[in-house]
Structure 1
């Protein structure tokens, strides 16, 4: 499968997520969307990353943006992670890794690569970052700049 490029329409998905509901990308048409793919609930870097994004969620919301975290853990793991850390945006369960495959964020042996996509109101990719090594993450400021460009 060819790598997704800037300007491409983001692949559709429908995943179960926190709040025990299904999330389809199409439901966010008309709003910018930030998709934060992360390897594992409760890992040190993921914990730091999602806490940082959660701390800035009001800035994303003021721009009309929706943030979704996506990883391969179970819904119960996501609920526990979200509750324990006070994460303020939905976490979606990609158990089959089908969404990760569609977005090209699976690494060797099927592990998630820490990756972020920002979509414009028409769900086209306007920002993408796929990490080869997941020890760092994109800052909220960098993502907010991408969202600002998407709504300009």
Structure 2
């Protein structure tokens, strides 16, 4: 993996102040990974890895719980210390176009997201976690408490040799 360019700035939020990092592997915005970091002394800090969800996080769609997960993750990490890693890949990594097509199938045909993605010929969750693992390594995190209900994230990070527990 190539080395990314890194930018850093304080970020004041309604949850408190974080250090915001942008890890940019190319000029393509989707190749960036953001990290919001608070002081952590634990050898196994709290970590949330979240992928973009424009419909849920920006427009607060009631069809998903991504906005709630974003707020809960930022609140807990600010309180307990840790790292919030934000990957700019919507639709579980399938992309915004596939996501919106899948949302339409879900709304009009009553299928769930997995069935809609299958109908579209898209893998359910093509995300890879090497860049999230790079971010953890950058901050010296060898193991973490992963804030997730998604076993694929745990497996994805374990494939990169990182130790985490949900």
The TM-score with structure 1 as length reference comes to 0.32
Choose between structure 1 and 2: higher strand proportion.
2
Q: TM-score, normalised by structure 2?
A: 0.30
Q: Higher relative contact order by CA 8 Å / sep ≥ 6: 1 or 2?
A: 1
